[in-house]
């Protein structure tokens, strides 16, 4: 379980986070929802320690993280797996080396054969068995995300963070990635936090949702409760998302129709 308390963060004159508090439960997919520029990614970076909050604290399973001793922070960080928006695979390494990397660095006692077993297991778990020797430049967006997930879970992480795992993916691939994250969360009983602005993710995998608006937490609840909320900003966000989805659907239908017409001619 991860608890955040009264997180504030300012960049220059811009207040990005304004007193955000909340609890992210273990074995559940916790979603940080909001439009672009509302501070979701900054909050995620504050939680993992990539950005230091001006005020506020983060606790991992009762252990204080922010401003704690370096050793303790390092110990917690070694339990963290993170999937980045850009996947952040190491360009100079192939798929196998990317997944093996955290094992090499974090578990030096592990033998080469044990590491390879774990790498192959993780790649199989994300549906990428046999892609060991491919370089990141040879992978599609969805495959990169899968390798990113495999790398995150390789050292048996306790906490999984995903920064917009669906960005740049087609709806079907996005759905598969969402499902994979949810399955992994439940299978390994880990605490997962996902940053997203995609309502599809909310509907499909959101066990618990925190809605951010202009750096503040406006709403928190489950996916069953989200449609019944009377928060204007959240309703506007849901409505805009629905409009976008409908527009995409119409566009796809028109494209298919156009394609059929061309083929019939």
Q: Of 6-14, 30-38, 100-108, 207-215, which segment contacts another protein by CB under 8 A?
A: 100-108
Q: Which of 74, 156, 222, 259 binds another protein (CB under 8 A)?
A: 74
Sole binder of another protein in the list 2, 17, 89, 169 (CB under 8 A):
89
**58 DSSP β-pair partners:** 4
Nearest of 169, 200, 167 to residue 182 by alpha carbon: 200
**Torsion sign (Cα): 80, 86, 92, 98:** positive
- Quote the DSSP letter at residue 140: -
Among the candidate windows 75-83, 118-126, 167-175, 184-192, which touches another protein by CB under 8 A? 75-83
Q: Find the shortest distance in angstroms from Cβ 85 to another protein.
A: 7
Q: Which of 48, 119, 147, 180 binds another protein (CB under 8 A)?
A: 48
Query: With binding defined as CB under 8 A, does residue 128 bind another protein?
Result: no
Q: Interface with another protein includes 84 (CB under 8 A)?
A: yes
Checking 144-147 for CB contacts under 8 A at 24+ apart, the result is: 144/87, 144/89, 145/83, 145/87, 145/169, 145/177, 146/177, 146/180, 147/87, 147/89, 147/95, 147/98, 147/99, 147/123
The one among 22, 34, 39, 49 contacting another protein by CB under 8 A: 49
Secondary structure class of 153 (helix, strand, coil): helix
Contact positions vs another protein (CB under 8 A): 45, 48-50, 70, 74-75, 77-78, 80, 82, 84-86, 88-91, 102, 105-106, 108, 161
């Amino acid at each position: 379980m991860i608890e955040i308390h009264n997180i504030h963060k300012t960049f220059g004159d811009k207040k990005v986070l304004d007193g955000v508090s909340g609890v992210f439960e273990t074995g559940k997919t916790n979603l940080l929802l909001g439009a672009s520029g509302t501070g979701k990614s900054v909050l995620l970076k504050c939680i993992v320690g990539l950005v230091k909050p001006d005020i506020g604290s983060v606790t991992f399973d009762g252990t204080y993280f922010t401003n704690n001793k370096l050793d303790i922070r390092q110990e917690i960080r070694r339990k963290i797996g993170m999937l980045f928006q850009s996947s952040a695979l190491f360009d100079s390494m192939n798929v196998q080396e990317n997944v093996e990397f955290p094992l090499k660095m974090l578990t030096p006692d592990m033998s080469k054969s044990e590491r390879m077993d774990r790498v192959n297991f993780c790649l199989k778990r994300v549906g990428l068995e046999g892609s060991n020797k491919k370089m990141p430049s040879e992978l599609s967006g969805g495959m990169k995300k899968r390798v990113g997930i495999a790398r995150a879970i390789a050292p048996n992480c306790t906490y999984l963070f995903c920064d917009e795992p669906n960005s740049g993916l087609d709806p079907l691939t996005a759905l598969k990635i969402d499902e994979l994250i949810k399955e992994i969360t439940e299978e390994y009983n880990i605490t997962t936090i996902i940053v997203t602005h995609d309502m599809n993710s909310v509907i499909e995998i959101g066990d618990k949702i925190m809605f951010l608006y202009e750096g503040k937490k406006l709403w928190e609840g489950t996916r069953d409760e989200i449609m019944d909320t009377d928060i204007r900003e959240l309703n506007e966000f849901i409505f805009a998302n629905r409009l976008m989805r409908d527009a995409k659907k119409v566009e796809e239908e028109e494209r298919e129709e156009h394609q059929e017409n061309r083929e019939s001619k």
